[in-house]
Chains A and B, each alone.
Chain A
Amino acid sequence: MEKQVIQSVGFRNIRENGEVTGFQFKIRLPYYRGIFLSQIMPGTLFVDGEKIEKENIVWCLKGEEYSNEEMSADFKTHWNPTECMVLKVKKPGGLAQGWHHLKYGFCFTSSYMPPIMQDKLDPDQESFIFMPEFGHHINERRLLIV
């Protein structure tokens, strides 16, 4: 696993029934402990500046796919910091060959932090104070599609 949140391995177009329906990339959890899916707050993805709403992104852990609604209610499925989450993005035709700039925001709640800090969490904004063990909300990377 790479130190960067957005991993270089796993970035490719998705082909279904002979048609390219979108693309995927992998992220790691930049937190010192694992979380349950309901703790995740997904945000917005920008690909080469183009905004992709979170409704068009499916999270995928150990081969199982989860919509935003499913995740927000699921406090039994656990994401360990040593495993990657695959994000599958709906985009007919996928991404063109060559370089792409990915910028993605997500964060997560913690039950041992004061609720007042939790209420202000925004996946598309960095926290007021940066704490390395919680990582950044917004991560960027420039990667190649073949």
Chain B
Amino acid sequence: MYTYNRKGPKRGVALYSYSAEFGLTKTLEDCFEDIHDMGAHGIEILANTHIENYPNPTDAWVENWFRLCEKYEIVPVEYGHWIDSHVVRGRDLTTEESVEMLCRDLRLAHRLGFTCMRTKMPVINGDLEPVKNWREIIKAALPLAEKLGLVMLPEIHTPSNLKGKMVSDYVDFIEETGTKNFGLNIDFSVFRTEFREGEHRSPNYIPNDPEDIIPLLQYIYCCHAKFIRMSDDFEETTIPYTRIVKILQEHGWNGYLLSEYEGADKYDEGYEVGQTLRKQHIMLKNLLGD
């Protein structure tokens, strides 16, 4: 299996970025080749999207998955999945049913060689607060995660704040359990400072300073390198990338920055998100010096 041993922050791509093209004009192999063109070595998939016949892929599909990783020098970094406890209308799944769903994903993530999981919790309100029994669900899955060498990471995304209650609840849980199998994925949307006139901005949103990430670094196993607007000279104009990357490097943070493009314009006719990703990877390559 291909390994990439560079120390410090490393470049990767979240296949979510290709959501307008995947299955229509791009195959899984096209996405791998695009990432390889960028010289990036990490990948994040969405289990429910990119795994054919999820949650029961065939052995042939899994074999092809490893063939692609080898051929395009790609490390399976993060397995995106959902704890879908609101999946049936009229009732929530029980804790046991949610745990069963989570363990199924842990086993599949391990089968595909992943080490991190972006674990999306079901939410109960507009502040994106997770379900009340999230601690019980995660706790029950920790032994299996430990056995399989996986770490479950909720994503901290705008309008959440790194200094907010959601993050401190997660950190308290990590400290109380002492677990190495639960942590954080920080989406760089929390650092966004620039908005155009009329552009949507949540009333609850307060941008974080890049320094706010420092006390959390020990809990962060990978990040979503969210980007909003790349200029033609390869600068991100809404998020202070230079400062963020410098902090990650200076503190010896070792993990993948997974590019995630969420802009709705990617659904426009003829839009090629690969070109937008390449702009960001020119910037990241220069900032990281790789």
Kindly provide the distance from the CB of B87 to the nearest chain A CB, expressed in whole angstroms.
4
Residues of B within 8 A of A64 (CB): none
Q: For the complex, give the distance between the alpha carbons of A75 and B24 in Å.
A: 26
Decide if A73 touches B122 in the complex (CB within 8 Å). Answer: no
Check if A115 is an interface residue, CB within 8 A of chain B: yes
Q: For the complex, give the distance between the alpha carbons of A118 and B125 in Å.
A: 11
Task: Mark out the residues of chain B between 46 and 85 whose CB falls within 8 Å of any chain A CB in the assembled complex.
Answer: 46, 48-49, 51-55, 82-85
Q: Kindly supply a per-residue 1/0 record for chain B positions 115-129, scoring 1 wherever the CB is within 8 Å of any chain A CB and 0 otherwise.
A: 000001111111010
Decide if A81 touches B23 in the complex (CB within 8 Å). Answer: yes
Q: Which residue of B lies closest to A130 (CB)?
A: B264
Number of A-B residue pairs, CB cutoff 8 Å, is: 85
Kindly provide the distance from the CB of B149 to the nearest chain A CB, expressed in whole angstroms.
25
Q: A80 and B53 in contact (CB under 8 A), knowing A114-B123, A133-B267?
A: yes
Kindly provide the distance from the CB of B31 to the nearest chain A CB, expressed in whole angstroms.
12
Q: Kindly supply a per-residue 1/0 record for chain B positions 1-25, scoring 1 wherever the CB is within 8 Å of any chain A CB and 0 otherwise.
A: 0000000000000001001101110
Task: Mark out the residues of chain A between 78 and 96 whose CB falls within 8 Å of any chain B CB in the assembled complex.
Answer: 78, 80-82
Kindly provide the distance from the CB of B167 to the nearest chain A CB, expressed in whole angstroms.
17
Q: Which residue of B lies closest to A129 (CB)?
A: B200
Task: Mark out the residues of chain A between 99 and 132 whose CB falls within 8 Å of any chain B CB in the assembled complex.
Answer: 109, 111-116, 118, 131-132
Q: A115 and B86 in contact (CB under 8 A), knowing A32-B19, A82-B23, A133-B19?
A: yes
Residues of A within 8 A of B53 (CB): 80
Check if A66 is an interface residue, CB within 8 A of chain B: no
Check if B89 is an interface residue, CB within 8 A of chain A: yes
Check if B171 is an interface residue, CB within 8 A of chain A: no
Question: For A2, A33, A35, A75, which residue has the most chain B Cβ atoms within 10 angstroms?
Answer: A33
Question: For B85, B120, B123, which residue has the most chain A Cβ atoms within 10 angstroms?
Answer: B123
Question: In the complex, which range does the number of interface residues on chain B fall in?
Answer: 20 to 34
Decide if B49 touches A109 in the complex (CB within 8 Å). Answer: no
Q: For the complex, give the distance between the alpha carbons of A82 and B54 in Å.
A: 11
Q: Which residue of B lies closest to A34 (CB)?
A: B48
Question: For B48, B120, B124, which residue has the most chain A Cβ atoms within 10 angstroms?
Answer: B48
Decide if A118 touches B86 in the complex (CB within 8 Å). Answer: yes
Q: For the complex, give the distance between the alpha carbons of A111 and B24 in Å.
A: 25
Check if A8 is an interface residue, CB within 8 A of chain B: no
Summarize A's interface: helix, strand, loop or mixed: loop
Q: For the complex, give the distance between the alpha carbons of A53 and B30 in Å.
A: 41
Q: For the complex, give the distance between the alpha carbons of A78 and B49 in Å.
A: 10
Q: A1 and B23 in contact (CB under 8 A), knowing A33-B46, A35-B48?
A: yes
Q: For the complex, give the distance between the alpha carbons of A38 and B89 in Å.
A: 7
Kindly provide the distance from the CB of B127 to the nearest chain A CB, expressed in whole angstroms.
8
Residues of A within 8 A of B128 (CB): 112, 114
Q: Kindly supply a per-residue 1/0 record for chain B positions 144-165, scoring 1 wherever the CB is within 8 Å of any chain A CB and 0 otherwise.
A: 0000000000000000000000
Decide if B88 touches A78 in the complex (CB within 8 Å). Answer: no
Q: Which residue of B lies closest to A74 (CB)?
A: B88
Residues of A within 8 A of B141 (CB): none
Decide if A33 touches B87 in the complex (CB within 8 Å). Answer: no
Residues of A within 8 A of B23 (CB): 1, 81-82
From A75, A81, A115, A118, give the contact of B49 (CB < 8 A): A81
Q: Which residues of B contact A (CB under 8 A)?
A: 16, 19-20, 22-24, 46, 48-49, 51-55, 82-89, 93, 120-126, 128, 264, 267
Q: 5 new A-B pairs (CB below 8 Å) besides A1-B23, A133-B267? A: A73-B88, A80-B51, A81-B23, A111-B82, A133-B264
22 A–B contact pairs at CB < 8 A? A32-B46, A33-B46, A33-B82, A34-B54, A36-B84, A38-B88, A39-B84, A75-B84, A78-B48, A80-B51, A80-B52, A80-B53, A81-B22, A82-B22, A111-B82, A111-B84, A111-B86, A114-B123, A114-B125, A115-B123, A116-B126, A133-B19
Q: Which residues of A contact B (CB under 8 A)?
A: 1-3, 32-36, 38-39, 72-73, 75, 78, 80-82, 109, 111-116, 118, 131-133
